[in-house]
Chains A and B, each alone.
Chain A
Amino acid sequence: MGSTLALQGDRGEGPAIRSRAELRELLDRTLQAVDSDDFAGPLLRGVGLSVRFEIPNLDLVLNVAPSVDPDHHLRWEFADDRSFDPKLELTMDSEVANAYLQGRESLAIGIARRHVRFDGRANAALLYVPALRLVCEHYRRIVNASHPDRAAAAGR
């Protein structure tokens, strides 16, 4: 991935997420919300969500997988754990991630513009790309509620 590039049209002016700690906190809260969501949690566990997000400009890696703990649907860790073998990997800078996770940026357009790198098999894309919208819904809600300036950074 190159440096963070502004995507035409879809993202407006405003402060972007610059800090690793800030994005990590947002993602952690998002996944906690997803995990305790009676609809999204079982659904994501059911599809066997196995995804690695890499945010190179903040040197942040997030691995998400179904939980082995019956009291949880998902488990996640912020570590470049190479023993974790994800079925799908998405690499994007924090500004693109913030827009994508708020549903403001099309993942496919991000790939076409080389702002997003996708690694995975077609079957994983068919399972996980629609399912990840549930994660995006929670992320958007959390950003709108607690970081409205970051919501502005994602445009419309």
Chain B
Amino acid sequence: MADDVISLSEAARISGVSSSTLKRWAEKRVVPVSGGRWTRAAAAQARVVARMRERGHSLGELRRAVRDGRLAFGYVEDLLPETHRVHSPAEAAERSGLEQELIERIMSLLGTPTALEGTLSEGDAAAMSLIAEVLKAGFPLVAVLQLVRVYAQSIRKISEAEVRVFHQYVHQPLIRQGVDALEMAEEMEGLVRDLLPLTSPLMEYVHQRYLRFYMEQDVVGHMEAELDPGTLGRVKMAFCFVDLTGFTRYTEEEGDEEALDLVERFVETVEATLPSKALIVKTIGDEVMIVSPEPGALTEWAVGFLGLFPERPQPRVGLHYGNAVYRDGDYFGNDVNLTHRVVARALGGEVMVTTAVVDGIGRSDYLKFDPIGRVDLKGLSEAVELFVAGAPDPQG
């Protein structure tokens, strides 16, 4: 229970701080202890205080932070599995059957500071055994390493977002309400205790949904590869870059926060209007990269999307249809680079496309393509024929 009284020595064990230091912190009200009764919540806060002291914060600063409830997150950490480092890489190697060098490489790919400490927790060691099973099943090592890197990068972002969202929507409002520090810690612990068991099934659900989607895409990809053996190992996609013209000037004129708001709304508007098979691959500042197996739908989207922006800020779009290597959740290759060059040549309010897009779409009732001739693009040895896509005149 959150309000269970524990002994001072137990508090010292939980916090990793000596009993004498805990008593001193309690006297100085750096840790909220009422009537000399230590609780798990207080011990958890002491652990956070110790961490903050190591980072150079004074006791005065920490007392104010504790009073405001800003360190109340400490207790929530107790709900996560303990990460005592109990295995050396050699022990994990013996247990899993993996080579020690491979374990060190995987732990390095996981990329968290704890992964670089040289020892493995029980959870780490169990994960190595799972990876060993995957390899025994015949999945190639290079593919396993690629997936570990993708898992680490993606789940790091999820975890970071979860903590930040919780902070923004739960912790900060409690601070603003002036809730007592211990009460706040216990309230947050209760909420997290309820939420944690829900996150894994939710992630599993989203994972399954995307797996199904990409398996369907893969079937299409295999069919196309069989039709064109030169593309084996690559995926055929329509690639699209869209960005906001004049964004740098907008940032200078309106300031960073206004510009960030604009980018967030811009990306949300892209997401809200994309056709069903199109996906955002990544965003880089005001630039969004989108892929779709359907060049026609993506080009129609681009033309219609620009219709939402009759004046500044006006986006511009570059589109190409070709092959790329898919790696780590991103697309690489000359065709992707070419698409990037194409958008750089577009003006605000223009959808510029390559011949491959025009040919890939064929006849369309909803699109017209005005040729602008062969254009030299930076980094390409040969000029490329480009077209401006638009909606045909309603009168035909």
Q: List residues of A whose CB falls within 8 A of some B CB.
A: 9-10, 106-114, 116, 118, 120-122, 125-127, 129-130, 132-133, 156
Q: Can you list 23 A-B pairs with a CB-CB distance of less than 8 A?
A: A9-B297, A106-B274, A106-B297, A107-B273, A108-B274, A108-B307, A109-B297, A109-B300, A109-B301, A109-B304, A111-B303, A112-B366, A113-B391, A114-B391, A118-B308, A121-B310, A122-B308, A122-B311, A125-B269, A126-B266, A129-B272, A130-B268, A130-B271
Minimal beta-carbon separation of B313 from chain A (angstroms): 6
B307 touches A118 (CB 8 A): yes
Q: Would A127 and B366 be within 8 Å (CB), given that A106-B273, A109-B301, A133-B272 are in contact?
A: no
Closest to A107 in B: B273
Q: Closest A-chain residue to B315, C-beta based?
A: A122
The answer, yes or no, to whether B129 is at the interface (CB within 8 Å) is no
In the complex, what residues of A have CB within 8 A of residue B271's CB? 130
Please tell me the size bucket of the interface on B: 20 to 34
The reply on B200 being an interface residue by CB < 8 A is no
Q: Are B272 and A109 in contact (CB-based, < 8 A)?
A: no
Complex-state Cα separation, A7 to B367, whole angstroms = 14
Contact B366 A108 (CB under 8 A): no
Q: Are B272 and A107 in contact (CB under 8 A)?
A: yes
Q: Which of B268, B276, B391 contacts A10 (CB 8 A)?
A: B276
Contact B300 A122 (CB under 8 A): no
Residues in chain B near residue A116, CB distance under 8 A: 304
Q: Among A9, A109, A113, A125, which residue has its beta carbon within 8 angstroms of that of B308?
A: A125
Given the complex of chains A and B, what is the CA–CA distance between A10 and B310 in angstroms? 27
Tell me if B275 is interfacial: C-beta within 8 Å of chain A: yes
Nearest opposing residue in chain A for B389, CB measure: A112
Q: Which residues of A contact B272 (CB under 8 A)?
A: 107, 129-130, 132-133
Give 5 closest A-B pairs by Cβ, nearest first: A112-B304, A108-B304, A111-B304, A130-B268, A125-B308
Within 8 A of A (CB), among B269-307: 269, 271-276, 297, 300-305, 307
A114 to B310, CA, bound (A): 16
Tell me which of A113, A121, A129, A133 contacts B311 (CB under 8 A). Answer: A121
- Please, which residues of chain A bring their CB within 8 A of the CB of B366? 112-114
Contact in complex: B307, A130 (CB < 8 Å): no
* A116 to B304 Cα, complex, angstroms: 9
Given contacts A112-B366, A122-B314, contact A106 B266 (CB under 8 A): no
Q: Which of B272, B314, B366 has its CB near the most chain A CB atoms (within 10 A)? A: B272
Cα distance, A115 to B262, chains bound together (Å): 28
User: What A residues does B365 contact at CB under 8 A?
Assistant: 113
> Would B301 and A112 count as touching, CB distance under 8 A?
yes
Give the residue among A127, A129, A156 with the most B Cβ atoms within 10 A: A129
Interface assignment of B309: CB less than 8 Å from any CB of chain A: yes
Residues of B with C-beta under 8 A to A106: 273-276, 297, 301, 304
**Do A108 and B308 touch across chains, with their CB atoms under 8 A apart?**
yes
Q: Cα distance A4–B310 when bound, in Å?
A: 25
The chain B residue with its CB closest to the CB of A112 is B304
State in angstroms the CA–CA spacing of A41 and B268 once bound together. 18
CA distance A116 to B366 in the complex (A): 13
- B327 interface contact, C-beta 8 A: no
Q: Are A112 and B303 in contact (CB under 8 A)?
A: yes
Cβ of B303 and Cβ of A126 under 8 Å apart?
no
Residues B295-337 near A (CB distance < 8 A): 297, 300-305, 307-314
Q: Which residues of chain A are within 8 angstroms of B310 by Cβ–Cβ distance?
A: 121-122
Name A105's closest neighbour in chain B (CB-CB). B275
A residues in contact with B302, CB < 8 Å: 108
Q: Does B35 contact A (CB under 8 A)?
A: no
Q: Taking CB as reference atom, which chain B residue is nearest A10?
A: B276
Task: Give min CB distance, A101 to chain B, whole Å.
Answer: 13
Residues of B within 8 A of A122 (CB): 308-314
Q: Are A126 and B262 in contact (CB under 8 A)?
A: yes
In the bound assembly, the distance between CA atoms of A54 and B190 in angstroms comes to 48
Q: Which residues of B contact A156 (CB under 8 A)?
A: 276
Complex-state Cα separation, A126 to B274, whole angstroms: 14
Query: Whole-angstrom distance between the alpha carbons of A111 and B314 in the complex?
Result: 16
B394 on the A face (CB < 8 A): yes
Q: What is the CA–CA distance of A10 and B277 in the complex, to the nearest angstrom?
A: 11
Question: In chain B, what residue has the closest Cβ to A9?
Answer: B297
Residue of A nearest to B275 (CB): A106
B308 in contact with A111 (CB, 8 Å): yes
CB neighbours of B276 from chain A (8 A): 10, 106, 156
| B-chain residues with CB within 8 Å of residue A126 when the two chains form the complex | 262, 265-266, 268-269
Contact of A127 among B265, B297, B394 (CB under 8 A): B265
In the complex, A9→B309 CA distance in Å? 26
Name the residue among B297, B365, B394 with the largest chain A CB count within 10 angstroms: B297
